């Protein structure tokens, strides 16, 4: 590492900028955005006048004098993009005065370089490649931009406002543990969701309550995160889900959660299987609820990881109610439900203008589930019906829809193990639904019945194959 990352206080003095081209103007914009007091030596009066209205907290002075004779007594840094010969002279002069200097795109003349920056207010991330590849640094910045929550700077600002208040009260928890709980709990979640006033009120209460517990009881009920794992592909996890997994002490996961998704959890987190496999005795829901509460009350940060979305046939609502009644802090992190992820993978639009204006999600894991459904409300041709856990009851689903008046020729698709490496799709007509289900094999699957199934990639491929077969014959 040749260049040590540091953060310059631009309010401590003047930043001298030399040059009139776009490289100089780019650095000028960046410095002005940081609130720097800039003294700009420009040889182009028209360009200088255009730059005057730039927003920024600091002052902008424009000089048309000789930068080699400039007063550097109040300078904290020099930035030059004046041309090869002048750049070398300015760099040498700055070095003689022991002032940090950056010559744009000339790391050999520079004592500091500008990193690529992710700016979230009070949170700033700097990425550098030692001047070797600014393009790579910008690419890394783009990747980090997608990972950092937009309001993370607001969270840092909130913490900064209350650090002295925390230091002034007796502490039941260490400062590190207290702020770690804030950053990874409901207070941070409220800030990131834009509920700043609620977050501030809870933080004040937490600080005061932390002091009230100084009697020696340092026990604290941790937060449970109900997290949607999506249909299987770990790249479909939301950013908030990744954040929760990165902070987990223990992860309770279902059968539908893939190993690739579990790999995104913190390495030291305990992983506990609480799923239900067909044909095997599973863990009762009451026992899962009890384990979640016990882990949280033991001071462990809990992630309850569910396939798809917690609130779509995932019993997340039941767990949420139980945790609330037990007084356990809980945060719900939505996920991409199977219908959305699997349909997107095969290019199947679940709705389509003038063709499918209604969308119904139902579940029919057992024959009695299918028998209890009022199929008459799903017979409309404009309705796309998505059946979760319907692989074993495909025949009952077919019979119920046709008996209610749905045309047996309606396009249908069975999407098994969607978004996973072994995903498979079978397409045909509603009257063939049971055969289609048998074709895809075991594993999680959804049934899609509606005109839009004919717009999917597997359907189009099947039509091409049929035409080819006819031509060959």
CA distance linking residue 326 with residue 188, whole number of Å? 22
State both tokens at 166.
Answer: 């925390």
Q: Which residue has the tokens 């074993």?
A: 392
Catalytic residues: 254, 276
| Contact criterion met (CB below 8 Å) for 136 and 113 | no
Among the listed residues 463, 356, 342, the one whose alpha carbon sits nearest the alpha carbon of residue 391? 342
What are the percentages of helix, strand and coil residues in the chain, rounded to 5?
40, 20, 40
Q: What is the largest CA-CA distance in the chain?
A: 93
CA distance linking residue 45 with residue 42, whole number of Å? 7
Q: Which residue has the tokens 């950053």?
A: 183
Residues 6+ apart with CB under 8 A from 422: 443
CB atoms within 10 A of CB 468: 10
Residue 446 burial (C-beta neighbours within 10 Å; 0-12, 13-18, 19+): buried
CB atoms within 10 A of CB 364: 23
State both tokens at 221.
Answer: 């009920």
Nearest 5 degrees, angle CA 149-CA 153-CA 157?
145
């Amino acid at each position: 590492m040749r260049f040590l990352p540091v953060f310059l206080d631009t309010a401590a003095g003047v930043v001298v900028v030399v040059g009139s081209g776009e490289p100089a103007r780019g650095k000028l914009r960046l410095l002005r955005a940081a609130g720097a007091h800039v003294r700009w030596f420009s040889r182009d009066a028209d360009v200088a006048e255009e730059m005057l209205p730039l927003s920024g907290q600091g002052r902008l002075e424009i000089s048309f004098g000789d930068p080699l004779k400039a007063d550097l007594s109040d300078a904290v840094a020099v930035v030059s993009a004046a041309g090869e010969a002048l750049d070398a002279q300015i760099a040498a002069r700055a070095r003689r005065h022991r002032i940090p200097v950056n010559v744009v795109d000339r790391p050999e003349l520079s004592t500091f370089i500008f990193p690529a920056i992710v700016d979230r207010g009070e949170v700033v991330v700097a990425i550098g490649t030692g001047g070797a590849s600014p393009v790579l640094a910008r690419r890394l910045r783009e990747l980090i931009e997608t990972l950092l929550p937009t309001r993370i700077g607001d969270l840092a600002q909130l913490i900064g406002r209350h650090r002295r208040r925390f230091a002034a009260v007796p502490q039941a928890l260490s400062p590190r543990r207290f702020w770690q709980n804030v950053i990874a709990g409901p207070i941070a979640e409220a800030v990131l969701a834009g509920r700043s006033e609620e977050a501030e009120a809870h933080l004040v209460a937490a600080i005061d309550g932390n002091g009230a517990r100084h009697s020696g009881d340092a026990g604290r009920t941790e937060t449970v995160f109900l997290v949607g794992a999506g249909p299987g592909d770990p790249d479909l996890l939301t950013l908030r889900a990744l954040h929760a997994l990165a902070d987990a002490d223990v992860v309770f996961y279902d059968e539908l959660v893939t190993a690739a998704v579990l790999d995104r959890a913190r390495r030291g987190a305990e992983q506990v299987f609480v799923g239900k496999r067909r044909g095997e005795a599973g863990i009762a829901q009451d026992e899962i609820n009890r384990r979640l509460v016990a882990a949280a009350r033991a001071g462990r940060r809990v992630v309850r990881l569910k396939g798809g979305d917690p609130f779509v046939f995932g019993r997340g609502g039941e767990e949420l109610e139980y945790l609330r009644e037990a007084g356990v802090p809980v945060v719900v992190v939505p996920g991409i439900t199977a219908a959305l992820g699997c349909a997107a993978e095969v290019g199947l639009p679940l709705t389509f203008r003038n063709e499918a204006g209604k969308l119904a999600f139902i579940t029919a894991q057992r024959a009695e589930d299918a028998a209890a459904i009022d199929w008459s409300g799903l017979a409309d041709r404009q309705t796309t019906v998505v059946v979760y856990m319907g692989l074993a009851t495909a025949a009952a689903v077919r019979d119920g829809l046709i008996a209610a008046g749905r045309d047996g020729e309606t396009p249908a698709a069975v999407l098994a193990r969607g978004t996973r490496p072994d995903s498979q799709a079978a397409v045909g007509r509603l009257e063939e639904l049971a055969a289609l289900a048998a074709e895809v094999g075991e594993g999680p699957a959804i049934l899609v019945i509606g005109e839009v199934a004919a717009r999917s990639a597997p359907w189009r491929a099947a039509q091409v194959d049929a035409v080819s077969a006819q031509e060959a014959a």
